[in-house]
Chains A and B, each alone.
Chain A
Amino acid sequence: MEFIVVQFLTGLASAASLFLVASGLSIIFGVTRIVNFAHGAFYMLGAYVAYTLTERFEGFFGFWGGIVAAALVVAAVGALLEIVLLRRIYRAPELFQLLATFGVTLMVQDLVVMIWGPEDLVGPRAPGLRGAVDILGLAVPTYDLFLIVLGPLVLGGLWILFHRTRWGVLVRAATQDRDMVAALGVNQTWLFTSVFALGIFLAGLGGALQIPRNAVTHLMDLSIIVEVFVVVVIGGLGSVLGAFIAAVLVSELNAFGILIFPKISIVLVFLVMACVLIVRPWGLLGRPEGPARQPAGLSIRPWQPMSQNQRLVMLAVVVAAGFAPFVTGDYALTVLAEIAVFALFAASLHFLMTVGGLASFGHAAYFGLGAYGAAFATTMFGMPMIGSLLLGPLLGVAGAILFGWFCVRLSGVYFAMLTLAFAQIAWSVAFQWVEVTGGDNGILGVWPASWAASPAAFYWLALAVSVAGIVALRVLVFSPFGYALRATRDSALRSEAIGIDRSRVQWAAFVIAGTFAGIAGALFAFLKGSVFPDNLAIPMSVDGLVMVLLGGIETVSGAVVGAIVYKALAIWLVSQTDLSKLVLGAIIVLLVVAFPKGIVGFAEDLLARRRAKADDGGAAARTTPAKAPAKAPAATSGSGAAPIAAPKMEAAR
């Protein structure tokens, strides 16, 4: 009994920081509609800066002043980020906003290691709150009690801020109706900056307050951001009270989950999240929100299947790739095989993201599950390689069926956050369930059959499977199902009105994408001879996203090009610099801001422009979408009707 009470108090104390960070994310989202992936990075920065300040200035004022100053410093950095980066992408698709802020996260990871070093840092105890209080005969740290009180205090403070100050009233108005605030003559630009700074302040404070409890590490950003996503998915984005309730719920589940399922405590959180999503898809206190924004992948230039000539060119490219073993060495072949595997992985994500408009931030889950499936089949059941390659992906399929069912109930940022959370859950299981998965040590000895053991033979196998998969995905794009999927992406409203069951179509697409990712994963397991939790971790998912983005989000299968360029670039980069995350993050940000159409999209634009110049006039309208008022040559049509500037996705009621 006593133990349960103490465990409960520990949970409440953990909830405080989680609530601070989650409420910051929620407040920022409420006004700017940006889900700030970098929120975890600011939390981490808060902890590091607080560590430095409290080490330097000791004593009561040194410590508490240091904590507050750290949060302020971080908030200032946040404001700078808003001014420099976010202002450029407020109108961009959600995917780009998530990616850009993720790029910032990557950069911060390397910067933090550069400044503070890779070791964990242990901060000082809080002056005045060092001891423990005796509760029911068990010692509870005084600092925990302080955090327990702090959570509700911050909640109350935020309530007063939003309901009793002019600024707060403006922010709430902006949350409800952005245009109205603009009409009131309020300087929206600085309102956004100040809101962002407040949200980041809360994240920084959450991080700073952790230093007496936990060591400061350069991995704390990703672990907190996943927890925060879970919290806002449960509590409802945009709701501060929802964030509070959900933070308490999640922290208590973690505190008690350790007792009930010590190995896979995360499963408890998963179950609760699943239940909440079934009953209230927009979270406990969230409001349903129409997908008002243009989803990624929407191209104004309708897709065409390849012409006969293009097919021949592609065939030639594949045949040429098949000759690689005659001209390169073993190492190069291993690299090429890896590129082939990732081309398939990226193509599967591309199918979901571009054709389906569903930006998954956790696609590596199905890749990794496929890899583990192949490893289990080989090491546990002694399957031959072909059997493992066929059966292994089924684990990915099963994961996609289960997770996808929940994910397609949501859209936009909720979808992105949920896919990420599921992937993290899959990762945690792989990491924690040591008896089955080997935990961090992974599963070794997943070697290919003897006929495929040579680098050349395995390369051919990987190339064949990858090409077959990519072709199959392309056939799917132009099949009736592909059209149904694009229809749900372009307009959910219209699709429902012509008899399309959106969530079923999207679920099927999710499973298809998961299947091909699983196949790629199974190949990957044999390529490496081993599987590790890394195979389904967030960085792997993000690699996939970057490949798709780099190739071109509006293209039919640009991801393949993106995968080839990205993989080659990444391998080269790692050999050139220790700061590969910094460079990668900067590349992501640059891509989003300056080059959002990717390589293939850019090339297509160029081609289309040249073609338009060639047959000037006539049907050249293809290249100048929406800008020039379309002529209305039809019989009943007059002229002068307003052209639509941008595709309006959803009708307001």
Chain B
Amino acid sequence: MSAPILEVEKLSKSYGGVHAVRGVSFTLAAGEILALIGPNGAGKSTCFNMLNGQIGRDTGSVKILGRDTTGLRPREIWRLGVGRTFQITATYPSMTVRENVQVALLSHHRELGRLFGFAGARHRAEADRLLGLVGMRDLAERPCGELAYGDLKRLELAIALVNEPKLLLMDEPTAGMAPRERVALMRLTATIAREQSIGVLFTEHDMDVVFEHADRIMVLNRGSLIAGGTPAEVRNNPDVKAVYLGEGSVYGGEAAA
């Protein structure tokens, strides 16, 4: 196997007295789909935010494509080839769906400093191709501010693919979507990841989705990794069951399936 895309070593972060993340280490290979699961407040989003440089880490190291990311800002990490979607979507509501993608493309081609020329005419075809990829081609002209939540999530995926990333960080990519949509979105993500050999790290509450698409699963609880392995291994891990007992139905329903 090739060198890992993402190497995380002993990552920690605390807020005052709260140890949000403690000593998390893992690696992610090209084309691999890795799920990070855990109950609410386990520290998943905090992990994501440290990986893309949005918040600083207390200790630990993160290497992306072999490069140490210490001190890099999110925009610099993005330039390394990292796509990101947010738990709570972050898009540009005053622009059309296509323009949302175009801005990212303009940034990717380093053209945002230009003071002349109509930006809406640039990289149109490429934007439409990406939108087509996530099944939003015919929503291209719609104001982003009036999209349904599930569509916003798909738009985020299209934006994340703009810089031909080697690593995708997806924090709850399907939260707030209908069950059928979730499966479809993750299936799409998995297809794209395999084709373009993108490493994907994602979190997800719906265990159906996790067990179907993840190559590997890590379980986070109160900031620490308590288990990891193939879906089958994780499913039968008693510690994981114990953690999820409190959460109840999601995992329970899945275990029966």
Contacts and interface: CB of A to CB of B under 8 A. Distances in A.
B150 A303 contact: no
25 contacts: A302-B99, A475-B116, A478-B119, A479-B119, A480-B111, A480-B122, A483-B99, A483-B102, A483-B119, A487-B103, A491-B90, A496-B54, A496-B73, A496-B74, A497-B75, A498-B108, A499-B75, A499-B78, A499-B79, A500-B112, A626-B145, A632-B148, A637-B154, A653-B45, A653-B46
Contacts of A640: 178
Interface residues of B, number: 72
Contact of A484 (B49, B78, B106): B106
Nearest to A633: B138
Interface of B: 45-46, 49, 52, 54-55, 73-75, 78-79, 84, 86-96, 99, 102-104, 106-108, 111-120, 122, 134-139, 141-152, 154, 159, 162-163, 176-181, 184-185, 188
B107 A637 contact: no
B89 to A, nearest CB: 7
Contact of A490 (B92, B114, B159, B163): B92
A653 B74 contact: no
A299 B146 CA distance: 11
A490 B152 contact: no
Given A483-B119, A633-B138, 18 more contacts: A300-B146, A305-B120, A475-B116, A490-B92, A494-B86, A494-B91, A625-B143, A629-B148, A630-B147, A636-B184, A637-B154, A638-B178, A638-B180, A640-B178, A641-B148, A641-B149, A641-B176, A642-B148
Given A305-B120, A639-B178, A642-B176, A500 B114 contact: no
Contact of B151 (A496, A500, A625, A630): A630
The 8 closest A-B pairs by CB, nearest first: A647-B93, A651-B88, A641-B150, A494-B90, A636-B184, A490-B92, A484-B112, A638-B178
Contact of A478 (B74, B106, B120, B179): B120
Given A299-B94, A302-B94, A630 B142 contact: yes
Contacts of A498: 75, 78, 103-104, 107-108, 159, 162-163
Interface in A81-96: none
Contacts of B75: 496-501
Given A479-B118, A638-B181, A652-B88, A486 B113 contact: no
A481 B78 contact: no
Given A483-B102, A496-B75, A634-B139, A644 B152 contact: yes
A493 B86 contact: yes
Interface in A544-602: none
B113 A481 contact: yes
A481 B87 CA distance: 28
Nearest to B177: A641
A380 interface: no
A635 interface: yes
B141 A619 contact: yes
B89 A490 contact: no
A640 to B, nearest CB: 5
Contacts of B151: 630, 632, 634, 637, 641
- With most chain A CB atoms within 10 A of its CB, the pick from B87, B91, B138, B148 is B148
A619 B141 CA distance: 9
A478 B119 CA distance: 6
B94 A490 contact: yes
A91 to B, nearest CB: 17
B146 A643 contact: yes
A112 interface: no
A484 B103 CA distance: 7
A482 B108 CA distance: 16
B192 to A, nearest CB: 13
Contacts of A626: 145-146
A302 B119 contact: no
Contact of B55 (A483, A486, A653): A653
Contacts of B49: 653
A482 B112 CA distance: 8
A604 to B, nearest CB: 14
A650 interface: yes
A255 interface: no
Contact of B119 (A298, A480, A490, A648): A480
Given A484-B112, A651-B86, A637 B150 contact: yes
A613 interface: no
B119 A487 contact: no
A653 B118 CA distance: 35
Contacts of A630: 142, 146-148, 151
A621 B141 CA distance: 11
Nearest to B184: A636
A641 B159 contact: no
Interface in A111-156: none
Nearest to A627: B146
A633 B135 CA distance: 9
Nearest to A641: B150
A499 B95 contact: no
